Structure 1
């Protein structure tokens, strides 16, 4: 009972820290305030002339989905301050649904530990900044974690068909909010196909996917409001699908995996072993593939677009050594770890590919994958995180790790700059 009270007070303090951040205008991400200021006028535009701006949205020169701004201007029109406060609290559903997912996935782990793990989201700069400065990406994450929740309920075999339909519905809302989440329909549909092969149920799921995707495709291609590949936006240019961009995505996303895996690896560092004594053909082949990937890696042009991006380890490597050597070394060991995870279950590889192709643009920010990668690692990647990793010692290290990262971000953005 005493421990439960302490955990409740601790989580309450995290909430109050978010409220304090709202009051003082915290932007630990660095660009959330700027993005908000540049886009908030869209609420007024949709409010004043909904149909015209809906049909001419691509002329406004933005790549973000209009879905949030439609909701903010019509459904939740509380004025700017009221709207920000409203969405700040709506986004608290993200750690709440993360906790609900954890209870399904880790039934034998203490609920207190699961509450602590779920609440760590409140330390993530992406969550805090986009909660304080309302952003469509976080609305997509909210619907995505709800979609994962219904998928996990589907895996329990309790009313699986109903939960598959609910997963499909909320995944569509996630894609409406932030189109990159739409790619994950491949992963979920494959899982549903295994459960309902050649059946009426899979046909209904297919039909629902088609119906829910029609507004999206009609909007982009029939009405020609293709805001995603807007010509005014430099980072979706001629080489979005080049080998260079693909290599950039693989290396940087792998390094972001390491960023979120690090607390779990740190606590088990003595158990992490790589045996290089046996140079098997498979090992040489996979290492050769990695060398080819880094041969095509060049994020410098993309970085120059915005003078930002690349993720924590890309920036750390260039800060310390003025090159990508540290990034490549760390990514290589994470690459070997992920290959072992892929061998455990082929669905892990499909999930990784969905993540790669969910961001075709040249630019890449770690914020685009936060806290999505943590959700995938803990909830969907089979064998990546097990219940033994969710003890208090690991959670304490995780809180220390992410607290240092948050405080460093706040200092860099607001004190050192």
Structure 2
């Protein structure tokens, strides 16, 4: 009997228990990552009240393009229409229950790539119910819920196409990726990874059919971005944002790669450093210049930057950025060139905005690690009971630390 079927009851029991913790968090206005409630009040209360006074068209073509918000306007239009039907708390409950579909599709996608043993049914709820940032966006109806839902459905269908070559799946994959891009435009960059993989799977004619399919469905939003929203005085050029956010990106990666490094390969990790010490010293030297970028904002920057900034040590952030880069290279060195290409996509996905937040990494890194990187090392981690225990401990500590910080 399939190992997943044997453990379905355990999976559903844990899933239901963690669902109850989510409902409890909703009742008591839990705010584990700190920014969820603030974003909700700013974007789904104040913005809706002030931005839609003259209707949706005024908001879309007059109010929003001249504001400071760098998000897509689509999600807030959806919230505006929902508010005409439901109370704010009912909308939050609806979004919480939509959120539940994400771990379900994550689970289904893991089955397709043959990752999973009896512990996988424990691992999935941990990721989505204990992670402070996942809990925050779920409890406070963050726009990321819809974009991540569309992303994981897209990934699920892309994997199915790789396995069965059914054209319906590849069209569904791009369709849901485009839907996600309407909510969070940065998600669309993942299409480059898809097209790269498709080069070896389909003929040139089909490749161009898919390209034009994507282009046609993206035209309305591209038109809006180019003609109504691109000339925004409150943003920097994208390359400036990229440079300023690089140190935050890699220092945030340092945090999420810790459980992968301290797993069972800690000795191999130090051996890797010793065998490549000259290269690593050179990378550290380069990091001093590239990963020491000046992130000078009162909020954001990632957990490590905020802690360093609190004690006046922000100038050494390049060390943690270097460690994040080193950890990534250790994990994905088997097929280095392809995985470096995916890292570039990951950086572009998360680091082009004016501000950088830890949640940009926390909400997406497992999608990249498991489904987009090509690393047997990472896949093997998710088949090992030790990693599950470490992952549980790590996320619990991270969650408790966030809650304790908010209380005290």
TM-score normalised by structure 2 residue count: 0.87
2:353 is equivalent to residue 354 of structure 1: no
Displacement of 1:402 in angstroms is: 0.5
When residues 169 and 75 of structure 1 are mapped into structure 2, their CA distance, relative to the original with a 3 A threshold, is farther
Match of 2:213 in 1: 208
For residue 204 of structure 2, give the secondary structure of its aligned residue in structure 1: coil
Residue of structure 2 equivalent to 1:241: 239
Structure 1 102/258 Cα, relative in aligned 2: closer, same or farther at 3 Å? Answer: farther
> Please, which of 254, 270, 273 is the counterpart of residue 273 of structure 1?
270
| Pair 1:176-2:176 in alignment | no
The 5-angstrom pairing of residues 184-203 of structure 1 reads: 184-199=190-205, 201-203=206-208
Equivalent residue in structure 2 for 1:264, among 260, 263, 267: 260
CA 260–402 in structure 1, closer or farther in 2 if over 3 Å, else same = same
Out of 11, 14, 18, the residue aligned to residue 10 of structure 1 is 14
**Structure 1 gap segments, 5+ residues each:** none
Superposed CA RMSD in Å reads 2.8
Runs of 4+ in 1 over 6 A off after TM superposition: none
2:325 to 331, 335, 338: 335
1:304-359 per-position Cα deviation (integer Å, ceiling 9, x unaligned): 42x2322233344556782454x444443442343352551533222211121222
Matches within 5 A, 1:331-410: 331-339=321-329, 341=332, 344-358=335-349, 359-383=351-375, 384-410=377-403
Give the distance between the partners of 1:52 and 1:335, measured in 2 at CA. Answer: 44
CA-to-aligned-CA distance 1:242-281 (integer Å, 9 cap, x gap): 4xx54554443233333222222222123433345556xx
Distance 1:55 1:205 in 2: 30
Change (3 A) 1:132 1:47: farther
Is the partner of 1:263 in helix, strand or coil? helix
Cα distance in structure 2, aligned partners of 1:409 and 1:66: 30
Moved more, 39-48 or 74-83: 39-48
Once residues 94 and 53 of structure 2 are traced to their aligned partners in structure 1, the CA distance between those partners, rounded to angstroms, is 18
Distance 1:393 1:278 in 2: 26
How many angstroms apart in 2 are the aligned matches of 1:361 and 1:188?
Answer: 23
Contact 2:99–2:149, Cα closer than 8 Å, also in 1: yes
Partner of 1:312: 303
Map 1:246-257; keep pairs closer than 5 Å. Answer: 246-257=242-253
Equivalence for 1:291: 285
Count of matched residue pairs: 395
Aligned counterparts of 1:347 and 1:271: Cα–Cα separation in 2: 22
Residues 197 and 10 (structure 1), Cα distance of their counterparts in 2 relative to 1, 3 Å cut: same
Contact 2:106 2:152 in 1 (8 A): yes
Do structure 1's residue 219 and structure 2's residue 224 form an aligned pair? yes
Q: Aligned-pair distance for 1:164?
A: 1.7
Note the C-alpha offset of 1:37: 0.8
2:140 — aligned with what?
Answer: 133
The 1-side partners of 2:208 and 2:365 are apart by 30
After superposition, what is the alpha-carbon deviation per residue over 1:102-153, rounded to whole angstroms, capped at 9, x for unaligned?
Answer: 111225x32x422222212111111111111112123211211111111211
TM-score (norm 1): 0.85
Which of 56, 62, 81 in structure 2 is aligned with 1:50? 56
Aligned to 1:81: 89
Report the equivalent of 1:102.
110
Contact preservation (8 Å) 2:291, 2:321: no
- Structure 1's 177 and 342: CA in aligned 2 closer, same or farther, altered over 3 A? farther
Partners in 2 of 1:265 and 1:285 — Cα distance?
A: 19
Change (3 A) 1:104 1:82: same
Rounded to whole Å, the distance in 2 between the matches of 1:398 and 1:72 is 34
